[in-house]
Structure 1
Amino acid sequence: MDYKQMEQSLKALSDETRMLILKYLSKEALCICEFTELLEMTQPAISQHMRKLKQAGLICEEKRGRWTIWSLNKDHALFSVLTALLDMLPEPERTVESLIAEGKKVNCS
């Protein structure tokens, strides 16, 4: 990893919404539609955050039909540092379990 790559990774981490997205992804892989419910944001807004995280190499995407499932990039040079930082953050107020309880969990398979 060079200085520019480190800068790009740290900039991607320097946003509360992106930190929340990464915290959710540290638990399980999710699609955009789940983030719209969890973060109460529009799909285009979340897509912009995902683009920045992907450009930094912090997340991976997997196409499943018309759905894109996102996960943490376990091969990223800062993966162990990232997970240690995410472990320091409190759990988000909304969880995937709360979506299930509310009947708002989308099946993206």
Structure 2
Amino acid sequence: MLQTTIEMDKAAMILKLLGDKTRLTMVKILDNHDCCVCEFVEIFKTSQPSISQHLRKLRDVGLVREERRGQWIFYSINKTSDYYAFMQQILQQLPDQDHKLKELEENGTRITCC
């Protein structure tokens, strides 16, 4: 397997972004599932502007991408990012977060925007 390295300042930037528990959890969820802002609002019990700010930071460095579906925007991991391999090594060490989406489904609040 080809191992790519990234510059120290880029690695520090990624680690700083992922050092926030909310963003780290978002990225772990997005690694397996596309989500919209409203789902993250439900998961984290926080405001839509706060969630959008977290997603903007991740999007601005290319860790996540957005896709418009009708009037809604869904987010996913940007697997073509130069930092994806580095981020994957981190995400593989973390516990699965699928239970958070299952809770939304059980509460009837998964993808409430669609």
Q: Structure 1 length as normaliser, TM-score?
A: 0.86
Amino-acid identity (%):
35
Dislocated runs of 4+, deviation >6 Å: none
Gaps of 5+ in 2: 1-5
Gaps of 5+ in 1: none
Q: 1:2: how far off?
A: 5.2
Once the two structures are superposed, residues 4-29 of structure 1 have per-residue CA deviations (whole angstroms, 9 ceiling, x without a partner) of 54443332222111001101101111
Aligned residue identity for 1:25: L
Residue of structure 2 aligned with 1:16, choices 13, 18, 21:
21
Aligned residue identity for 2:53: Q
Contact map agreement 1:60 1:73 (CA 8 A) in 2: yes
Residue of structure 1 aligned with 2:96, choices 80, 91, 107:
91
RMSD over aligned CA atoms reads: 1.9
Q: Which residue of 1 aligns with 2:68?
A: 63
Report the CA distance shift for 1:71/1:93 in structure 2 as closer, same or farther (over 3 A): closer
Task: Report the Cα distance in structure 2 between the residues aligned to 1:3 and 1:108, rounded to whole angstroms.
Answer: 39
Q: Structure 2 length as normaliser, TM-score?
A: 0.83
Task: Report the Cα distance in structure 1 between the residues aligned to 2:110 and 2:47, rounded to whole angstroms.
Answer: 16
Task: Report the Cα distance in structure 1 between the residues aligned to 2:64 and 2:98, rounded to whole angstroms.
Answer: 22
Number of residue pairs aligned between Structure 1 and Structure 2: 109
Contact map agreement 1:5 1:56 (CA 8 A) in 2: no
